[in-house]
Structures are given as C-alpha cells and as structure tokens.
Amino acid sequence: MKQALIDYTLHLADNALVLCHQNAAWCGHAPNPELDIALTNISLDLIGQARNFYQYAAELINAANDPSQDPVTEDTLAHLRDAGDFKNCLLVETPNGDWGQTLLRQFLFSNYQYYLYQQLSNSSDPQIAAIAAKAWKETTYHLRWSSEWVIRLGDGTEESHARMENALQELWPYTHELFIPAAYETSCMEDHTGADLATVKSNWLEKTAAILSEATLTIPGNDFAQNGGKNGKHTENMISLLTEMQFMQRAYPGCVW
C-alpha cells in the first residue's frame, strides 16, 4: 500500500479531529443556546468524519505492516500519536480566541472542506470517495451556517465588526497553507485519489471574497504564509491541545468508558 495514501488519509482525519476538539471547548460557553448547539453539532459531524478517515487509515496501515506487529486502531491513531505525527493544517489548531474568531475559522475551513470533499467524492479510491460524499453533505450545513454568522457579525455593530477584522488579520496567514500541497497531496493528486488543490483554491477564494465583502470585511493584502502543519511542524498551541485531548489514554493506557 502506498505511503502517500496513508499520509493523505491521516491528514484528512487530523484536520477534522483537531477542529472538532477545538470547537468542543465552547460547549456550555457559547453566547446563546442555539449557537452552542450549532457548534457542538458541527463538532459531532467532524468527529464522525475523523473516525471514518482514521478507520480507513488504520486498515491501510495494518495491511502494510508486518502481521506480528500490534494493529493500530482509530483510537491509537487519535490518542497515542505525538504532535510531530499529526498532519493537520495549522489553521485548525489556532487558539479559539473570541467567539467571532472561532466562527470565522469555521467559515474559512468549512469553505475549504466544501470544495475539497466535493472533489474527493470523485476520488479514484472508493473509500475516500464514499467518506467524502457523505461529509460533503454535512459540510454544506456548516458552510451555510458559518457564512451567515460571519456576515451578521462583520456587518453588525462597531464592536463586532472590529473584532471580526482582528480575527481576519489573525487567521489569514494560516489560510495559505490549505493550498500549499505536501508531497503526499501532490502524489495523491497525480493518481486521482486526492484533490487538485489549485481548483479548490480558486473556488475557495471566490466564495471567501463574496462572503467577506458581504460582511464588510477587508481581505488582508499580506501573503505571508504560516506553513508546516501538514508535515508535522506545529504551533505551540498544538501541544496543549493534544495534552488535554490525549490525557486519559496517556495517564490510564487502554482505559475504556
């Protein structure tokens, strides 16, 4: 089995898991019950997508490994890998910030997932295609909900507008990485198991510009890109995030609910 497909599947799983975990921190803390329910529901979809990708990655890894080795599972992949093994984009691991920043991150990432999954539902790998086709439908709701809230807050009060401008300044440098392909993405694009990021990028930019303009927000001119997450080079926040997420399995190995 090709290593690139394993890495690509882990990358997709890690993106979904890390954003799911970050959003879940808002459970019980969002500005009102409807928003609380919305973000936790999005987390639920994301953990489902992550599980589907991890289960498939585990299958690929176990098939490639020597049968005498302990098999990996969706749980060992999520809970027992170190930060350097995680292949998620830096955007999903950025600190939650205020509610506006979390919401803007959700919009920027849902918009990416929407066009990514749309392409992946035609992947030459049937399991990637099946997971993506299902996830794409869920992402449609996430994108619609987050787009509307970016507009409400951006084009809202002076205070909410200022906060959204700040959030955009903060997050924009992390968006470029979404479209800078890692070696495994290039390899998977070439054999049509993966998506063509150049097409995803042009769709993403068009939609992002339309929503941000409606929200009266200005896209930063700065093209400086924070990069490295896809290859395991993470920000400091990733360490504290994993410390919390993996605590139970690290402290009590093999414990079950």
**Does position 145 bind other proteins by CB under 8 A?**
yes
CB nearer to other proteins: give 48 or 181.
Answer: 48
Residues 170-189 that bind other proteins (CB under 8 A): none
- The closest alpha carbon to 105, from 87, 84, 89, belongs to 89
Four-point Cα dihedral 152, 174, 198, 86, nearest 10: -120
**Does position 45 bind other proteins by CB under 8 A?**
yes
Length of the chain: 257
Which of the stretches 21-29, 95-103, 134-142, 222-230 binds other proteins when contact is defined by CB under 8 A?
Answer: 134-142
Size of the site for other proteins (CB under 8 A): 34
Which residue in the set 78, 167, 195, 211 belongs to the binding site for other proteins (CB under 8 A)?
Answer: 211
Q: How far is the CB of 233 from other proteins (least distance, A)?
A: 29
CA distances (Å), 189 to each of 2, 3, 181, 186, in order? 13, 14, 9, 5
Q: How far is the CB of 47 from other proteins (least distance, A)?
A: 5
CA distance 78 to 236: 19
Which residue in the set 116, 135, 167, 238 belongs to the binding site for other proteins (CB under 8 A)?
Answer: 135
CA distances (Å), 49 to each of 135, 150, 226, in order? 6, 24, 25
For residue 91, count other CB atoms closer than 10 A to its CB: 23
CB 197 within 8 A of CB 109: no
Q: How far is the CB of 17 from other proteins (least distance, A)?
A: 11
Q: Where along the sequence are the contacts to other proteins (CB under 8 A)?
A: 34, 37-38, 41-42, 44-49, 51-52, 114, 126-127, 129-131, 133-135, 137-138, 140-141, 143-145, 147-148, 151, 211, 214
